[in-house]
């Protein structure tokens, strides 16, 4: 049953635990209370876990390093970015695609490593991928334009939908939506698929990589509109932690269908049924 009350006790256990990172696992440079206990319980029970982020401007290895610096033992295989999932989606759905990517080097590396063919030649491009790109230049827009305009057979997707990336202290940076909009504006083409949160494609692809069915997974995060919305859309259980972006009294703004199954003051309530 979806709830907006604080959950006193979690009695169900899951085969896969998917975690947002910022506001859920850590805040700034510190792990949140209960995280090490929950990670130990998941490991000891032999269950699967993954850390999911929309931001593909760092490699999975860099995220794993951050988790290790904070005291969790994680490898790059525990991290999925929207880049990982974009590669998986391309391999599953358009395995012969020749891609042009408006993105940063870690995203290109992730795609290339997973066997996705990349090109800057508009004549051979069959898929344009837009993303968070602080290396965006006019030639990239021109290439996307040449590849997409009057060529309806060429597909157009985005790694994730974020308008901006917030920084601590209130500043931020234009994110993938700005690049997607620039390409849409000059080509009259609409981006046809957005992989990252809150699209359920992110969850279903991550779970297919883990080999766990949606009904045996729980998505844990601190944002209703992205983390929880994605879990609900994909058909997993959902847990909102109150350690990040959402306060309990904000839950009144949402319809019942948008509410999580659990509202947790501490993330390690999820550990009890595993022990
Ligand atoms: Mg978060």
For residues 217, 222, 225, 231, the Cα torsion angle rounded to the nearest 10 degrees is: 0
Q: Would 65 be classed as within a structural domain? A: no
Tokens of 16: 């896969």
Q: Would 214 be classed as within a structural domain? A: yes
Is 118 in the same domain as 160?
A: yes
Categorize the per-residue pLDDT at 30 as very low, low, confident or very high, splitting at 50, 70 and 90. Answer: confident
Tokens of 23: 């506001």
Name the average pLDDT for the chain.
95
CA of 116 from ligand 1 middle (Å) equals 29
Categorize the per-residue pLDDT at 74 as very low, low, confident or very high, splitting at 50, 70 and 90. Answer: very high
Categorize the per-residue pLDDT at 267 as very low, low, confident or very high, splitting at 50, 70 and 90. Answer: very high
Is 111 in the same domain as 166?
A: yes
Tokens of 94: 């358009």
* Nearest C-alpha neighbor of 52 from the set 243, 196, 223, 200: 196
Categorize the per-residue pLDDT at 166 as very low, low, confident or very high, splitting at 50, 70 and 90. Answer: confident
CATH number of the domain enclosing 207: 3.40.50.1000
Categorize the per-residue pLDDT at 201 as very low, low, confident or very high, splitting at 50, 70 and 90. Answer: confident
Is 104 in the same domain as 141?
A: yes
pLDDT tens digits, 109-134: 999 999 999 999 999 999 999 999 99
Note residues around ion ligand 1 (Cβ under 5 angstroms): 20, 22-23, 222
Q: Would 75 be classed as within a structural domain? A: no
Domain end, chosen from 142, 159, 194, is at 194
Is 205 in the same domain as 159?
A: no
CA of 45 from ligand 1 middle (Å) equals 25
Q: Would 43 be classed as within a structural domain? A: yes
CA of 21 from ligand 1 middle (Å) equals 6
Residue 126 to residue 236: CA distance in whole angstroms: 33
Is 169 in the same domain as 202?
A: no
End-to-end C-alpha distance for the chain, whole angstroms? 23
Domain end, chosen from 194, 225, 246, is at 194
Q: Would 169 be classed as within a structural domain? A: yes
CA of 224 from ligand 1 middle (Å) equals 10
Q: Would 5 be classed as within a structural domain? A: no
Mean pLDDT score, 25-50 = 94
Is 176 in the same domain as 224?
A: no
**The pLDDT value given to residue 262:** 98
Place of tokens 């849409």: 184
Is 124 in the same domain as 209?
A: no
- Say whether pLDDT at 170 is over 80: no
Tokens of 176: 């993938």
Mapping DSSP onto H, E and C, the string for the chain reads: CCCCCCCCCCCCCCCEEEECCECCCEECCEECCCHHHHHHHHHHCCCEEEEEECCCCCCHHHHHHHHHHCCCCCCHHHEEEHHHHHHHHHHHHCCCCEEEEECCHHHHHHHHHCCCEECCCCCCCCEEEECCCCCCCHHHHHHHHHHHCCCCCCEEEECCCCCEEECCCCCEEECHHHHHHHHHHHHCCCCCEECCCCCHHHHHHHHHHHCCCHHHEEEEECCHHHHHHHHHHHCCEEEEECCCCCCHHHHHHCCHHHCCCEEECCHHHHHHHHC
Residue 275 to residue 271: CA distance in whole angstroms: 7
**The pLDDT value given to residue 25:** 96
- Say whether pLDDT at 77 is over 80: yes
Q: What predicted TM-score, i.e. pTM, was given to this entire model?
A: 0.88
- As for how many domains the chain has, the answer is 2
Share of the chain above pLDDT 90, in %: 91
Is 169 in the same domain as 216?
A: no
**The pLDDT value given to residue 46:** 97
Is 162 in the same domain as 228?
A: no
CA of 187 from ligand 1 middle (Å) equals 33
Mean pLDDT score, 12-39 = 94
CA of 259 from ligand 1 middle (Å) equals 16
Q: In what order do the strands lie in the sheet with 117-118?
A: 117-118, 98-102, 127-130, 155-158, 193-194
Instruction: Name the CA radius of gyration of the chain, rounded.
Output: 19
Is 181 in the same domain as 212?
A: no
Q: Would 96 be classed as within a structural domain? A: yes
**The pLDDT value given to residue 172:** 86
Is 205 in the same domain as 233?
A: yes
- Say whether pLDDT at 168 is over 80: no
**The pLDDT value given to residue 148:** 98
Angle 138-148/176-187 helices, nearest 10 degrees?
50
**The pLDDT value given to residue 69:** 95
Q: Which domain holds residue 45?
A: 16-54+197-274
Give 95's contacts (C-beta < 8 A, 6+ positions apart). Answer: none
Of 5-9, 90-94, 203-207, 266-270, the poorest mean pLDDT is in 203-207
Is 154 in the same domain as 115?
A: yes
Just list the catalytic residues: 20, 22
Mean pLDDT score, 42-58 = 96
Q: Would 3 be classed as within a structural domain? A: no
CA of 5 from ligand 1 middle (Å) equals 20
- Say whether pLDDT at 169 is over 80: no
Domain end, chosen from 164, 194, 224, is at 194
**The pLDDT value given to residue 95:** 97
**The pLDDT value given to residue 27:** 87
């Amino acid at each position: 049953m979806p709830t907006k009350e604080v959950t006193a006790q979690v009695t169900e256990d899951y085969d896969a635990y998917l975690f947002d990172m910022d506001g859920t696992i850590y805040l700034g440079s510190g792990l949140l209370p209960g995280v090490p206990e929950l990670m130990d319980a998941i490991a000891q029970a032999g269950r699967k876990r993954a850390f999911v982020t929309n931001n593909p401007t760092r490699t999975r290895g860099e995220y794993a390093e951050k988790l290790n610096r904070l005291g969790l033992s994680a490898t790059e295989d525990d991290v999925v970015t929207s880049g990982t999932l974009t590669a998986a989606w391309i391999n599953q759905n358009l395995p012969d695609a020749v891609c042009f990517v408006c993105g940063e080097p870690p995203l290109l590396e992730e795609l290339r490593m997973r066997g996705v063919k990349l090109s800057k030649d508009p004549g051979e491009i069959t898929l344009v991928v837009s993303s968070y790109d602080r290396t965006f230049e006019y030639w990239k827009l021109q290439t996307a334009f040449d590849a997409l305009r009057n060529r309806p057979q060429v597909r157009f997707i985005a790694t994730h939908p974020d308008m901006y990336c917030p920084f601590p202290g209130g500043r931020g940076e234009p994110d993938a939506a700005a690049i997607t909009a620039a390409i849409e504006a000059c080509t009259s083409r609409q981006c046809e698929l957005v992989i990252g949160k809150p699209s359920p494609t992110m969850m279903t692809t991550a779970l297919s990589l883990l080999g766990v069915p949606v009904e045996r997974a729980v998505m844990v995060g601190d944002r209703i509109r992205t983390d929880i919305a994605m879990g609900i859309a994909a058909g997993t259980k959902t847990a909102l932690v109150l350690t990040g972006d959402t306060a309990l009294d904000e839950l009144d703004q949402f319809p019942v269908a948008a509410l999580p199954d659990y509202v947790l003051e501490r993330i390690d309530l999820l550990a009890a049924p595993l022990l």
